[in-house]
Amino acid sequence: MTRWVKIFSTVASICTVCRAVMDSVTQTASHAVSTEGETVTLACGYKSTSDNPFLLWYKQRLSKVPVYLLGRAKYGHGDNGTEFSERFQSKLNLSSSSVPLTIRNLQVSDSAVYYCALQPTVTTTPYTPHRKAT
């Protein structure tokens, strides 16, 4: 019996406040369906003003928080999260401004939403909060 693996990729366009207009990531495919044992590649393109961009991939299972999968940079090989084996591979391609994620030997447990992100990431606002006069 063939077991299907559903993989969803979502854009996590997280940028620095000052570079928010210029830095971004784009994931073109919204989902991929494949069978156990096959290989799937998820695309992620990016635009960055940095001369050393650092791209990250996260995996989020249903009703769970995103988990760090791997990170890739211009210099060095990057790193893989502790839970993820050699089946998960990625390489930063500077000429095409992309960092595709390849998952080999698919397993049903790979069914998840996959996020591509560009570091540095921030979750703060550039505005100073209003303070009550004293």
Tens of pLDDT, residue by residue over 57-105, are 999 999 999 999 999 988 877 888 887 778 999 998 989 999 999 999 9
Q: What is the pLDDT of residue 13?
A: 40
Cα 122 to Cα 65, 117, 134: the distances in Å are 17, 11, 31
Residues 6+ apart with CB under 8 A from 106: 5, 34, 35, 36, 37, 38, 39, 40
Is the pLDDT at 16 greater than 50? The verdict is: no
Q: 31-35 and 40-42: which strand pairing?
A: unpaired
Tens of pLDDT, residue by residue over 102-113, are 999 999 999 999
Tokens matching residue 27: 């994931």
C-beta separation of 108 from 2 below 8 A: no
Q: What is the CA radius of gyration of the chain?
A: 17
Q: What is the pLDDT of residue 30?
A: 79
Band (132; pLDDT cuts 50, 70, 90): low
Q: What domains can you pick out in the chain, each with its CATH number? A: 4-119 (2.60.40.10)
More confident site: 71 or 22? 71
C-beta separation of 105 from 87 below 8 A: yes
What are the strands, taking DSSP E only, across 13-124?
24-26, 31-35, 40-42, 45-47, 54-60, 67-73, 79-80, 88-90, 101-103, 112-119
Give phi and psi for 110, each to the nearest 5: -80, -10
Strand order in the sheet with 88-90: 40-42, 101-103, 88-90
Tens of pLDDT, residue by residue over 23-51, are 888 888 778 889 999 999 999 999 988 88
Give phi and psi for 108, each to the nearest 5: -55, -35
Band (17; pLDDT cuts 50, 70, 90): very low
